[in-house]
Structure 1
Amino acid sequence: MYTDSQIVLGYIFNSTRRFYVYVANRIQRIRNSTQPEQWTYINTNLNPADEGTRSIPASRMPKSLWLNGPEFLKECPDVICNNPQVEFPLIDASSDKEIRPEIQVAKSSVSDQEPFDATTLFEKYSESFKSSYKACKGWHKCSEHKEQSAKEEATRFILLHVQRKHFANEIECLRVHRKLPRDSSILTLTPFLDSHGLLRVGGRLNKAPRSCQADNHNPIIIPKRCHIGLLIVRRCHVKVQHQGRHLTEGSVMSSGYWILGRKRLISSYIHECVTCRRLRGKLGTQKMTDLTVARITPFAPFTYVGVDAFGPWQVTTRRARGGAANS
């Protein structure tokens, strides 16, 4: 069997890629009746089928390929059958719409011994602080199955990894009861480690009754230029209904977080906030066009007359199901 379509030959000889239903059914019917080795390529100029679908002069009909066939078919059958068979590859398989695309799946395993960088993960996939601790549940097994406790434990897990990445030296000094380095950015905050190992701002309310003890008395320290800090600012800014820097900063503090450089971080975020830019944008003003020649050139009285139109005017009244309808 011969065909002048190298694309079809690639489909018939293919054994690695999959096709969509339309092509797959027809290729399967061809391979059920024939073998791929029985198919070969014929040039378009030697294909008799082309002359069967094209108009040719009557004088050429006696010598046409449609009636006589190509010359190589008149050779010895052994010569034809003993021609070396070649495999025809797929033509431009990457852009062929009839071929299903190849999907590569990568599997990776994370063990407890391998380092886990939570901050890098959240910078790539997290858009809000809520989605951060939801994503964290996939890697961190919470001890309790209750939603609130799972949320709190996942939040602590995120903050612990953030603080260990940026304040590793300070945390180690506090664990061994040493003084913090003089060049530490949190030296003036008198930090301490709580029962969960989180760095908190020190203060004068440590001996207050437990009922009065709140997170905003000893807020959790968040490092400067941290993606988690940006997510916290974003959540608090939405919480106060985009009310500006002062209310956003107050919401951050009341939530129990002390973000280093928070004023600049909040101001830069509000400057880029699309909702705030829309609410506080300047009103557009329409620039008036030039006056027409009729209004600035002297003419005889009533040469040009202008009329102010108003309406709508009620022209007709017709009956309707609900009564009279005017138009």
Structure 2
Amino acid sequence: MSFCFPINQLRSFSPLNVSFCRKSPACSTLWVCSLQFSKVDWDETPPGELIDDWIVLAQNLFALNSFQIPRRVVYARSLTRLYLHGYSDASEKAVGACIYIRSVDEDGNHSSHLLCAKSKTAPIGKGRSTIPRLELNAAVILARLISNVTAALAKQFHEIRAYGDSQVALAWISGGASRWKTYVGNRVAEIATLLPSINWYHVGTHDNPADIISRGALPVNLKTNALWWHGPNWQHSSPHRDLNDAQRQQVDRERKSVAVGLMVAYQNYFLNEMLTRYYPNKQMLLRVTARLLRFDSRGPERLTSAELDKALLIYVSHTQKSHFSNDINRSKEGKIVSSGSSIRLLDPYLNADGLLRVGGRIRQSELNYDTKHQLLLPRRSIFTCLILYDAQQLSLRTANFASNFSSTFLDTVWDKCGS
């Protein structure tokens, strides 16, 4: 059995580029798309359903001979306002857009007429997209079409509106390009460049003339279709509507994953105030702090050396957290300090008390622990100045300044910050 397809009957011409395959809904194009999707070889007979559809289509193609499409789209005698309205829609088979010019005269009479349209078959096979993505592609076609029309007509329109019946696609457009993944983000960026999101509105499926493009229509039915030739009768629409749970999931599926880095700056205003208040008297600072630490527990009247050492380590920890917070956090995670750290060459490590100490090969020596692994303090801090001042005053009271200064300070603390 052989079956011949009269391809010549698919061709039609109009000086307005108003052909059945372009400005009118492309049933023939959709039929060819269905033929390709069926994966029929060139020498095989198509399925019976496609043959029946082709026979109906071929018989209706002759109705195009009776089509009369006027060139004039503005009929107002005394024109006061001119509107440009565009509509887009998509299906699994095709995407498309159409544009209407609506004119209003001095008496308030208005007329709306189809200006132009564009259709495109949807991808098939492995390149198929979801319906919301196809709706977004239809919106891209509409934005390009509106841009071309406004540039070609060079008219001042009172208002330009774009409509779509996909709330998911409209949510992507209104959300901006930066928050979506690459596929959606690129298309939203192009739409925003051609037509701002404030110009996009929602329209119901039954009032959307572009729905005829995506679904297809026979010429005999299209000839008397007022929705296609003049657009919907209503004039107002809400730009935003609430999304249901399923639509919200479709919107969030294209949301870009953003890694948020949270940096918490260490601050202890009480300890800073204590350092400022009792500077430069280190002994008074440590004694007051030790008394405060003992406030909720009983102990001997005289402070012990252990209590004073505990107070000292509190200020060491406070100073390190204020200046080496990034190095401390990396050490807690088991990482080495960053290459840009000022203490990197000292090979620091975090001891059991959470304090940074000097590391490196010196750990192989036979010196005591505090001498080998000295506490790290920044050069420019009020606590470091307080330690140095106290050590200097103590050394001045003795005959040998250098040796006493070394034994009281440098054996336990390393004053190093980038030098």
Shorter-chain TM-score category? 0.3 to 0.5
* TM-score (norm: length of structure 1): 0.39
Higher relative contact order (CA 8 A, sep 6+): 2
* TM-score (norm: length of structure 2): 0.31
* Bigger share in strand: 2
